[in-house]
């Protein structure tokens, strides 16, 4: 006996459309609370609709929330917009840091003079130690002539140098310097003993002020001077503040005269008590701050 596929399909469809009644009633009083007419087709449609709605909600969550990083292909952080922005800022910061370091090295070379080099690099990049030339024995006549020439050069000052020196000195007296701190000078300016500034005593936690407007060119810690800050001013002036306990400014920041830049301290191996070592340089030469500032 042959089976009619069409008839079986119609029976299945009719079975899905058979109506059922869902009655909700109180279990104790048997009072009917609600009655709903349902078919299997309605139930299937409701279930499929819920599944489709759930799938759409999950898709929206994965698309517009950080959960998308859990999806393969989105987990690579290097492809995110935030990472690209941070990487770009980091590269710009590295470039600025390299520029500040180059400027700081030039200023340090201007203040301390060129540093002697002990080795050079060959074309292949291998360091090679420079051999010192053998000393040449000097004769007495040569030594006498050298002494005369050096003495004459030391005593000779050109009119241009004299005029320039007096002009710079007059300009410094016309400038108003803000005292970094107010206190007693414990160690004066002694360039012959490599003491190129003055030591000023002040109470603990005293704020140190910028003596003039300028830009911070050095803000770092060294073994000998501890926390040190340097400021570039106009008229080729540079001021240094050493042995601080805290630095309040970073390299590249602009400061105003009288603005707090550090806190007095006792850092560094060359310090034996809370004080400020203050230096003032002009055109690469140290000058006595006490001649122009009343501490």
User: Binning pLDDT at 50, 70 and 90, where does residue 4 land?
Assistant: low
Find the range with the poorest average confidence among 12-16, 135-139, 191-195, 266-270.
135-139
Q: What class, spelled out in words, does domain 178-291 have in CATH?
A: mainly beta
Let me know: does 233 contact 213? Beta carbons within 8 Å: yes
**What is the percentage of the chain residues whose pLDDT exceeds 70?**
72
Alpha-carbon span 81 to 74, nearest angstrom: 12
Looking at residue 162, its pLDDT comes to 45
Cα four-point dihedral sign 145, 151, 154, 156: negative
Spatial CB neighbours of 51, under 8 Å, sequence gap ≥ 6: none
Find the range with the poorest average confidence among 50-54, 85-89, 125-129.
125-129
Label the pairing between strands 226-232 and 275-282.
Answer: unpaired
**What is the percentage of the chain residues whose pLDDT exceeds 90?**
36
pLDDT digits (tens, 9 = 90+) for 193-243: 999 999 999 988 899 999 999 999 999 999 999 999 999 998 889 999 999
Spatial CB neighbours of 230, under 8 Å, sequence gap ≥ 6: 107, 216, 217, 218, 219, 238, 239, 240, 241
User: Binning pLDDT at 50, 70 and 90, where does residue 13 land?
Assistant: confident
Q: Round the average pLDDT of the chain to a whole number and report it.
A: 79
Whether 47 shows a pLDDT value over 70: the answer reads yes
Alpha-carbon span 165 to 152, nearest angstrom: 20
User: Binning pLDDT at 50, 70 and 90, where does residue 23 land?
Assistant: confident
pLDDT digits (tens, 9 = 90+) for 177-190: 999 999 999 999 99
Could you tell me the residue ranges of all domains in the chain?
11-58, 76-110, 178-291
Alpha-carbon span 210 to 197, nearest angstrom: 15
Spatial CB neighbours of 270, under 8 Å, sequence gap ≥ 6: 224, 225, 243, 277
Give the alpha-carbon dihedral of 170, 172, 174, 175, to 10 degrees. Answer: 170
Find the range with the poorest average confidence among 13-17, 155-159, 194-198.
155-159
Mean pLDDT score, 126-155: 57
Give the predicted TM-score (pTM) of the model: 0.46
Query: Which residue has better confidence, 153 or 284?
Result: 284
Question: What is the residue whose two structure tokens read 């074309």?
Answer: 123
Mean pLDDT score, 272-278: 91
Alpha-carbon span 249 to 22, nearest angstrom: 77
Find the range with the poorest average confidence among 44-58, 77-91, 143-157.
143-157
Q: What is the CA radius of gyration of the chain?
A: 42
Looking at residue 84, its pLDDT comes to 81
């Amino acid at each position: 006996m042959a089976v009619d596929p069409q008839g079986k399909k119609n029976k299945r469809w009719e079975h899905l459309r058979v109506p059922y009644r869902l009655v909700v009633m109180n279990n104790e009083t048997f009072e009917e609370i609600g009655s709903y007419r349902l078919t299997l087709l309605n139930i299937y449609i409701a279930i499929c609709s819920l599944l489709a709605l759930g799938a759409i909600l999950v898709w929206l969550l994965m698309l517009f929330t950080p959960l998308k990083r859990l999806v393969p292909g989105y987990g690579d952080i290097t492809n995110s917009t935030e990472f690209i922005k941070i990487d770009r800022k980091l590269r710009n910061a590295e470039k600025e840091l390299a520029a500040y370091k180059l400027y700081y090295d030039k200023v340090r070379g201007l203040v301390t003079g060129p540093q002697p080099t002990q080795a050079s690099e060959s074309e292949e990049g291998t360091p090679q130690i420079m051999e010192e030339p053998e000393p040449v024995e000097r004769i007495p006549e040569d030594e006498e002539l050298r002494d005369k020439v050096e003495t004459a050069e030391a005593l000779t000052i050109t009119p241009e140098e004299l005029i320039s020196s007096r002009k710079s000195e007059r300009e410094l007296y016309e400038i108003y310097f803000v005292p970094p701190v107010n206190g007693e000078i414990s160690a004066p300016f002694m360039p012959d003993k490599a003491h190129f500034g003055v030591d000023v005593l002040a109470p603990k936690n005293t704020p140190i002020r910028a003596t003039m407007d300028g830009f911070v060119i050095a803000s770092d810690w060294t073994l000998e001077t501890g926390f040190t800050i340097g400021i570039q001013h106009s008229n080729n002036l540079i001021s240094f503040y050493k042995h601080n306990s805290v630095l309040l400014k970073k390299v590249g920041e602009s400061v105003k005269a009288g603005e707090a830049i550090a806190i007095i301290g006792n850092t560094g191996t060359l310090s034996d008590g809370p004080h400020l070592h203050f230096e003032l340089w002009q055109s690469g030469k140290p000058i006595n701050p006490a001649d122009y500032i009343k501490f």
